[in-house]
Structure 1
Amino acid sequence: MTEVLVVGAGPVGLALAADLRMRGVEVAVVERRTDPGAGTRAIGIHSPALALLEASGATDGIRERAVRIARGEARADGRVLAEIRFDRLRARHPYVAALPQSDTIEVLTALAPPVRRGVGVTSLRQETDGIRAQLDDGGEIRAGVVVVATGWSGRDLVYRPGAVRTHHYPDRYVMADVVASGGPVARVHLERAGVVESFPLPGGRRRLVAWAGTNEVTDADGFLRDAVAARTGTPVDIAGASTFGVRRAVAPALRRGRVIVVGDAAHEVSPIGGQGMNLGLLDALTLAPLLGPWVRRGDDAGLARWERDRLASARHAARLAFLNTMLGRAAGPSAHAARTMALRTALRGPGGEAFTRAYAMRFDRAARARG
C-alpha cells in the first residue's frame, strides 16, 4: 500500500507529489490523460507559491524559464492610470513568474515520481486503514491517503451531485499567445468596449485576452485582432485564438475521511486576474507537510486548520475574481468615465498598494508563513 496517491498530474498534483517525494513520503501519481499537452494555459506564478516551491527545488527551474514581471500598468483611453509595482512588495520573490504551463509541468515532472499516464480513477472506497482506488483499466491502488487534484472533472469522486454549487458567468473571452513587443510589463486596458489584458511570455511573446460580450464568437482570430487594435491602438497578427467562459465554485469541504481535494476540483475562480492555478498550488504546498505525520502516525491535528484557511482563501480569491470580471466588462460613456476616475484615484492612493498585494496573493493565508 502506497502512503499517498495523487490523482491528477497537472501543476497542482505534480507540485504536491514533488514536495512529498522530497519529504520522503511514498507517493504514486495517476493521470487519465496520456499527454501533458503543450499549451500555455495558466501562465503566472505569484510570490507565495514561488516561495513554497523552493522546498522541492522547483523555483529555480521556473525562474530560469520565466519572464519576471516586476510591474504592471492599468490603462484607459490611451493613458496610464496607475502602475502596479510588484517589485516593491516585501516578498522573497517580488515579481510574477510568467511562463507556459507546459514549462511549469516539465519542471515539476522532473522532480516528482514517475506519473502513470492513461489511467483514470473511477471510484474511491474508504477502508479502515486507507482508501481503495478503482482504476478504469480494471486495476486498483490502495493508499493511506488520496489527494484528488484532477480539476473540476474529478469532483464526482468525492462530492455528491450538486454538492458544489457552480455559478456560470455570462461573459465570454477570446485569448491567444502572439509574437509582440512590450517588454516584461503586464498591461490591462480597461476600455469602453471591454478589457484587453496583455502579459509577457518568454521568447518575445505575449498572452492577449479580450472581453467578447456574452455571445459565442465565431471568428476568434478576427475578433481578437480587431479588439486589440481598437482598444489598445496596437495592430497584431493573430492565429490560433480560442474562446472561453468563466465560472465560480467553492466546495463546502476539502476533506472526506482519508480523501483530500485540492485545486480546481475544490474551487474554481475566473481566470481574469490569474489566481486559479496559484490557489491550487498553495492548497497543495501547505498540505504536503501535514500528510506524512497523518498517514504514518494518525496525526491529523493540522488538517482542520488547513481546511479552514484554504476555504477562506478560495472565497477571497473568488470575490476578487468577480471584481476583476465586473471591471472588465463594456461600459457606456458615463460609466466608463466614472470607472476610470475611480480606478485612477484608488490605485494612485493607499488603495494601490492594497490592490497590488491582493493581485499578488499577499492576502492568502499561506503568504503569512512564507512568500
Structure 2
Amino acid sequence: MTGEDSAADLDGQVEQDAGKLGESPESTTVVVIGAGPAGMTVTNLLRRAGIDCVVLERRSREHVAQRQRAGIVETRAVRMFDSWGLADRVLGGVPYDGVLEIRVDGESHLLSDSDGTEGLGARLCPQQVLVQKLTAAYLADGGDLRFEAADISLHDLTGDRPTVRYRTADGTVRALTCAFVAGCDGDHGVSRTTVPEGVLTAHAFDHGIGWLTVLADAPPPARPLLAVSPDGFAAHFPRGPQTSRYYVQCPPDDHPAAWPDDRVWDALRTRLGDPALVSGPITDREIFRLRSLVHDPMQHGRLFLVGDAAHIVSPMGGKGMNLALYDADVFARAVRDFVRDQDDTGLRTYSQRCLRRVWNDQEFSHWLTRTLHDAGDDTGTGPFHRGLARARLDRLFTSPHASRAFAELMTGMDPA
C-alpha cells in the first residue's frame, strides 16, 4: 500500500467515524506535533497568550518524561521563560553559577559566562525535568495534550485550514482542523517528512567524531567539566544530586559493548586528569556520531518546524535544546501577533529570524567541537591543527575580549 493509499483510507475512516458520532472534525488554532521541550514550550507560551491549541504525541507520557538529554537552560532561555511569567513554574534543577571548567592535560581553567547584563542566569535543568514541569503547567492550565496518538498525518498545509489526522490508543481515527501546525517532533518525525521533496534544502555536516555517553549513579562535578588530553576528549556533567553524565571521545563507528565498565572508568580518570574519580553503577550507555544539520526554510505553508525537526547541532556548547526554546518563543509570538493584531510579519519572517540564530549557534558549536578535539588527540588532524587549537584555547584563557565573546555565545545573549 502506498502512502497516498494509506492516507486515503485514513480519510475515509475519519469521515465514517465522524458520521457515526454525528460530529465534524474538531477545530483549534494550533496543532502541536510532539511533546518534548520544543512542543511543550510552544503550548505553554500559546496558553499564556490566550491561544487555543492541541498537542499530539505518539509516545506515552511516561516515555516522554524520562528521555535523558541536555542539562543546561541558557541565560537567554531562562529570561525568555521569565518574560512569559513561567520561570518559577517550569524551571527545575538548581541555579548555575555560570562557571565552566576546561581542563587541559590536567590543568584547570575556569571560564565565566557572565556577560555583564542584569537578570536571571542559566540553570542546570535536565531536559526530562523541564519537560515534566512544562507538561504539568500546561495540564494545570487546562491544556489539551493527547499521548499515544498514532499514524499522525498532515494535510492541506498550503491552504487556509490544514487538517491533522491521527489514531487514538483505542483505534479511533480523529481529525483536527487548525490555522497553524507546529512541527516539534524531532529529526525523524512526521512533520518535516510531510514537506514535499524539493521545498527544503538540507545542509548536513558529519564531524567524523563519535562520543560514548554514559549515565551513572556517581557524584556530579562541582561545575560542568570539559577535558582535553592526548588520549582524547572527555566531559563530566551533573544530572542530579547523585547522578552524572559522562562523554568519552571514540571512533564514530564504535560499539557500546567495546566499553565495559572498567574501560569506561579508566578512560575517564585518564582524560579528566582525575585519578581519584569516584565511580558508580552505569545505568545507560550509547555511542552517537557528532553531526550537524540545517533545513532551510523552516516553514512550508501553515507548517512551522520547531527545534530538532528543523536543525540538529553538535552537542558541544549545549545549544540543541536552547535553539528549540528560541524557535518556540519566535513562533508563539508570531502566532500571538497574528491572532491579536492581524499582523503576519512574525509568521512571514519566522524562518529568516530563526535561521540567523541557528547558523550563529552552529558556528559556535563547530568552533568549540573542533577546538577541544583537535587540541587533544591529533591522530586525525595532525600536529599543525593541534597547535592551532591550543593557540585558540590559550587566547580564550588569557584574553578578556576573547572570554567576553565566549560568554556572550554561551549565554545566548549574543546579538544573533
Q: Same fold (TM over 0.5)?
A: yes
Equivalent residue letter for 2:128? S
Q: Which moved more, 1:192-201 or 1:233-242?
A: 233-242
Instruction: Note the 1:1-371 alignment, pairs <5 A.
Output: 1-34=27-60, 35-80=63-108, 82-87=109-114, 89-94=116-121, 96-112=122-138, 113-120=143-150, 121-126=152-157, 128-136=159-167, 138-154=173-189, 155-160=192-197, 163-181=201-219, 183-217=221-255, 218-222=257-261, 223-234=263-274, 235=277, 236-237=279-280, 239=282, 240-295=284-339, 298-329=342-373, 330-331=377-378, 334=383, 336=386, 339-349=389-399, 350-363=401-414, 365=416
TM-superposed deviation, 1:128: 4.3
Q: Which moved more, 1:142-151 or 1:196-205?
A: 196-205
TM-superposed deviation, 1:46: 0.2
Equivalent residue letter for 1:300? D
8 Å CA contact retained: 2:41, 2:325: yes
TM-superposed deviation, 1:362: 2.0
2-side partners of 1:238 and 1:363: how far apart?
39
Structure 1 residues without counterparts, runs of 5 or longer: 366-371
Percent identity, please: 22
Change (3 A) 1:325 1:183: closer
Structure 1-normalised TM-score? 0.89
Structure 2 residues without counterparts, runs of 5 or longer: 1-26
Match of 1:368 in 2: none
2-side partners of 1:364 and 1:28: how far apart?
33
2-side partners of 1:67 and 1:15: how far apart?
20
Equivalent residue letter for 1:293? D
Change (3 A) 1:56 1:219: farther
SS in 1 for 2:79: helix
Larger Rg: 2
1-side partners of 2:328 and 2:73: how far apart?
14
TM-superposed deviation, 1:328: 3.4
SS in 1 for 2:82: helix
Cα displacement string for residues 51-90 of structure 1 (whole angstroms, at most 9, x for unaligned residues)? 111244432145443352420111111112x321124541
Change (3 A) 1:93 1:195: farther
TM-superposed deviation, 1:237: 3.3
1-side partners of 2:154 and 2:409: how far apart?
38
1-side partners of 2:295 and 2:224: how far apart?
31
Change (3 A) 1:343 1:131: same
Structure 2-normalised TM-score? 0.80
TM-superposed deviation, 1:25: 0.3
SS in 1 for 2:233: strand
Change (3 A) 1:59 1:84: same
Cα displacement string for residues 113-166 of structure 1 (whole angstroms, at most 9, x for unaligned residues)? 231011142223236432111224532110011111111112202352774243
- Count of residue pairs brought into register by the alignment: 363
SS in 1 for 2:76: helix
Equivalent residue letter for 1:76? V
Q: Which has the higher contact order (CA 8 A, sep 6+)?
A: 1
Change (3 A) 1:180 1:148: same
Cα displacement string for residues 32-64 of structure 1 (whole angstroms, at most 9, x for unaligned residues)? 112314132111110111111124443214544
C-alpha RMSD of matched pairs (Å): 2.4
